[in-house]
Amino acid sequence: MQTTNSSTEEEEIFQVRKLEISDKKKGFVDLLQQLTLCDSISDEVFEEQFNEIAKCGDNHLICVIEDNNSGKIVGTGSVFIEKKFIRNCGKVGHIEDVVVDSSVRGKQLGKKIIGFLSDHARKMGCYKVILDCSVENRPFYERCGFKQKEIQMPHRFCHLYKSSPKACTEEHPKTSINQYMFSKRIITFGYK
Amino acid sequence: MQTTNSSTEEEEIFQVRKLEISDKKKGFVDLLQQLTLCDSISDEVFEEQFNEIAKCGDNHLICVIEDNNSGKIVGTGSVFIEKKFIRNCGKVGHIEDVVVDSSVRGKQLGKKIIGFLSDHARKMGCYKVILDCSVENRPFYERCGFKQKEIQMPHRFCHLYKSSPKACTEEHPKTSINQYMFSKRIITFGYK
């Protein structure tokens, strides 16, 4: 019964909850740096952005997983609710910025985050949730109930990156977390 | 100089502006029905949803093109602004629900809508705009400055479609508007 005990123990150690302002001190921003470009943020700017997002109430939820042993934030993801006129004035949940700390991958924490965000969208009355991911991450999201449909097309505004043009043309180096999660052969950066 | 005159004339006839409540009477909902499933909406429900979306201010913009000759709404699209912690507390504009009436395709109105929504996102300080589209529509969006990056994966919540399970499993029949816009061989439904 070792597996069950260990699983229950992990369940207690890694719980998903809403982001709090104090999570900045617990490594929330460092974690985001594993996902993509994320400069260090001052406490003031962080609080300002936190309060801006909080204005949307339940329509923009950022969740985190705190490692209750170390007190470190080891997982995060967000969902915001879009209100439409189509589909009977329906709502769609957009999942963004999902990442699990490289030190705790392989514990199904990604699935836990996706489940938490999807449940929130469902409770908010969404008829679907959508996300964009790399082709390599498709198998992971398929296991979470997602199915590929369209393609994602960004258009970057380079003028905002005059001081750092690299940020406009290049992505942060990354590969698939799932390649690590399921084969445990390589260390990776994040979901997207 | 016929082309220039004709082009200027069309410029005056088809102007992009923000959605107004009175646009429902001008065929706004009928137009959305060319995009995907969109049941008829009562004036009361429409106004309620309009006001809900308006609460987001400039963070959720729906634009329309009115045919100034017929007074009919012939194009629409929306963009909402997501606030993030990554990319220096950056913002991303999400473009959704772009459609041009089948009777006026081939006049570059789709491009006009995308330009309007992208400009809005740029003014709002976004470092990029993103959208999801079918593979067939990729060439059109590439001409608008977009570049394919990832894949889009939806997860539909079927329980919301108990009364109409078809809505959960099937999409509205549609093909690529661009196939019509650029080859003028077939009549199509919408962008997505």
pLDDT, tens digit (0-9, with 9 covering 90-100), for B108-165? 999 999 999 999 999 999 999 999 999 999 999 999 999 999 999 999 997 554 444 4
User: What is the spatial distance between Cα A91 and Cα A79, in angstroms, rounded to a whole number?
Assistant: 12
Instruction: Tell me which of A63, A88, A98, A178 to substitute to probe the interface with B (most B C-beta atoms closer than 10 Å).
Output: A88
B73 burial level (CB within 10 Å; 0-12, 13-18, 19+): buried
The whole-angstrom separation of Cα A186 and Cα A76 is: 21
A85/B156 touch (CB, cutoff 8 Å), yes or no: no
Identify the pLDDT of residue B37.
77
| Position with higher pLDDT, B6 vs A178 | B6
Contact A46 B85 (CB under 8 A): yes
Q: Which amino acid is at A63?
A: C
The pLDDT value given to residue B5: 64
ipTM, two decimals, is 0.83
**Range from A137-141, B5-9, B31-35, B65-69 carrying the lowest mean pLDDT:** B5-9
pLDDT at A158 (0 to 100): 73
Could you tell me what percentage of chain B is helix, strand and coil, using 3-state DSSP and rounding each to the nearest 5?
45, 25, 30
Question: B31 to chain A: which residues are within 8 Å by CB?
Answer: none
CATH class for the region spanning B2-191? alpha beta
Give the 3-state secondary structure percentages of chain A, helix then strand then coil, rounded to 5.
45, 25, 30
- A170 to chain B: nearest residue by CA? B149
- Residue A52: predicted pLDDT: 96
Average pLDDT rounded to a whole number, residues A12-20:
95
Q: Which residues of A21-37 are buried (b: 16+ CB within 10 A; e: fewer)?
A: eebbebbbbebbbbbbb
What pLDDT does B28 receive?
A: 97
Among A24-38, A178-192, B23-37, the least confident range: A178-192
Contact A85 B28 (CB under 8 A): yes
**Which amino acid would we find at residue B110?**
G
Q: How confident is the model at residue A10 (pLDDT cuts 50, 70, 90)?
A: confident
Asked if A123 has any chain B CB less than 8 Å from its own CB, the reply is no
Mean pLDDT of chain B: 84
Question: What pTM value is reported for the model?
Answer: 0.84
| Position B15 pLDDT exceeds 80 | yes
pLDDT band at A187 (very low <50, low <70, confident <90, very high): very low
Contacts of A41 in chain B (CB under 8 A): 85, 88-89
Listed residue (B168, B140, B141) closest to B154, CA to CA: B168
In this predicted model, which residue has the larger pLDDT, B2 or A145? A145
Q: Return d(Cα B49, Cα B55) in angstroms, integer.
A: 10
User: Do B132 and A145 make contact, defined as CB atoms within 8 angstroms?
Assistant: no
Quick: pLDDT tens for A95-140.
999 999 999 989 999 999 999 999 999 999 999 999 999 999 999 9
Q: CA B91, CA B129: separation in Å to the nearest integer?
A: 9
Unique residue bearing structure tokens 């997002």: A53
pLDDT band at B18 (very low <50, low <70, confident <90, very high): very high
SS3 B134: coil
Provide the 3-class DSSP secondary structure of residue B177: helix
B55-95 pLDDT, tens digit each: 999 999 999 999 999 999 999 999 999 999 999 999 999 99
Record: contact B152-A157, CB cut-off 8 A? no
Question: What sections of chain A are H helices per DSSP?
Answer: 2-13, 28-32, 43-54, 86-89, 109-123, 138-143, 166-169, 177-183
Asked if pLDDT for residue B174 goes beyond 60, the answer is no
Average model confidence (pLDDT) across chain A? 84
Label residue B153 exposed, middle or buried (CB < 10 Å: 0-12, 13-18, 19+): buried
Strand-pairing partners, residue A104, are: none
- Secondary structure of residue A167 in the 3-state scheme: helix
CB contact (8 A) between residue B167 and residue A131:
no
Spell out which residues of chain B touch residue A60, defining contact as CB-CB under 8 Å.
Answer: 82-83
How many whole angstroms separate alpha carbon B56 and alpha carbon A49? 16
Task: Report pLDDT for A9.
Answer: 79
Q: Which among A73, A84, A99 is positioned nearest to A191, based on CA atoms?
A: A99
Pairing label, strands A14-18, B72-83: unpaired
